[in-house]
Amino acid sequence: MGRMDWFILAAWGLATFLSLLGVYEVWRLYWSPRQRRLDQRIQQMLVHGPQEGSTAIVQQRFLSRSGRIDRWLARVPGLQALDRFLSQADWPFDVSQTMLLGALLLSLSALLGAVLGFHVLLIAMLMLLVLLGAIQYIRYRIGQRIKAMEHQLPDALDLMARALQSGHAFVSALQITASESRPPMAVELRKVFDEINLGMSVQLAMGHLASRIQSKEIGHFVVAVLIQNETGGNLADVLRKTATLIRERQKMAGVVRVLSAEGRISAWILSVMPFLLAFALYLINPEFISVLWKEQIGRVMLGISSGLMLAGVFWMSRLVQIKV
């Protein structure tokens, strides 16, 4: 089994794993029971507010810096969802620049495959890996940004509660918190303040915040503000209790992460050990292990075991990620 066959097998395995991971993440963000319950709760709070979804005061993002290209891209289905995806990651490029960068990466990967003499199918798999890797990198940026906001949220809520206790209204307390906080929390609170200051209702502006930031902690904050706005009460006390709840959740998540460290290390060892063992056997006795790729039954066993191993790695990664 030559170097090309090993590369094809590794590329196929990685593409399969990334595809399964992408399908799971899409299900978790849009169709999981917990996310559905949170979306329904926010939607119930928004349905009683004024319907201002089509109002002109909502800031419109441009898909391109060129007006003609922006009008053309606006008619392409799916690009608005791509723009929201990029905005959640605080991506520095617009949609047209991102598409151009993606086309450049795909072209370079295809050129690299052609220079190395790869088969057309292998070049297509390499391009798919590059595309999935780029999407996963943007998702990583989104996750890091959400983690930073969740870490800053309790302090921001305490600051907002103190501003409310000193006599400020909710909108001015929001402005004070946005000016005193650090990015990315300050950026999102500034967006909420600007929308309310321009005439949008609190319900709709807070709903926009929940839709931009897919976070349970942000969802708790939005639901608390919307309930207080509907029923009345001491908002400062509600925000302070919400901040305490979020801190306790984060503390519990840290404890769970420490307690599950042994499981995560075991998962890493079990994931890497088959490859290290196969490499060691190849160095000790190449003829013994070469049956796996020289014989037809060996190749079948290698393919089945690779698929089962990837499924096991994915399953172990889900088991050690305990939700608090």
Answer whether residue 268 shows pLDDT above 70. yes
Residue 116 confidence class, pLDDT cut points 50, 70, 90: confident
Answer whether residue 83 shows pLDDT above 50. yes
How far CA 106 is from CA of 123, 281, 318, in Å, comes to 10, 37, 31
The pLDDT tens digits for 58-69 are 455 666 666 667
The pLDDT tens digits for 271-305 are 788 888 888 888 888 888 887 777 888 778 877 88
**Pick from 37-41, 90-94, 228-232, 308-312: least confident:** 37-41
* 56: DSSP letter: T
H-state helical runs in 166-234: 170-180, 185-197, 202-212, 216-231
Asked whether 161 and 239 are in contact (CB, 8 A), the reply is yes
Mean pLDDT of 84-92: 79
Residue 53 confidence class, pLDDT cut points 50, 70, 90: very low
Residue 39 confidence class, pLDDT cut points 50, 70, 90: low
The pLDDT tens digits for 220-230 are 888 888 888 88
Residue 29 confidence class, pLDDT cut points 50, 70, 90: low
**Pick from 38-42, 120-124, 136-140: least confident:** 38-42
pTM of the entire predicted model:
0.63
Residue 121 confidence class, pLDDT cut points 50, 70, 90: confident
Residue 51 confidence class, pLDDT cut points 50, 70, 90: very low
Give the chain's mean pLDDT.
78
CA distance 139 to 21: 12
**Pick from 17-31, 85-99, 134-148: least confident:** 17-31
pLDDT of residue 167: 86
CATH number of the domain located at residue range(s) 150-246 in this protein: 1.20.81
* 49: DSSP letter: S
Mean pLDDT of 53-57: 42
CA distance 228 to 211: 20
Domain limits of the chain? Answer: 150-246
Residue 43 confidence class, pLDDT cut points 50, 70, 90: low
The pLDDT tens digits for 139-182 are 888 888 888 888 999 999 999 999 988 888 888 888 899 888 88
Cβ-Cβ contacts under 8 Å for 284 (sequence gap 6 or more): none
Answer whether residue 263 shows pLDDT above 80. no
H-state helical runs in the chain: 3-30, 33-46, 67-74, 79-88, 95-115, 120-165, 170-180, 185-197, 202-212, 216-231, 235-259, 261-284, 286-289, 291-294, 296-319
CA distance 29 to 23: 10
Kindly provide the b/e burial profile for residues 186-209, where b requires at least 16 CB atoms within 10 angstroms of the residue's own CB.
bebbbbbbbbbeeebbbbbbbbbb
Higher local confidence (pLDDT), 306 or 19: 306
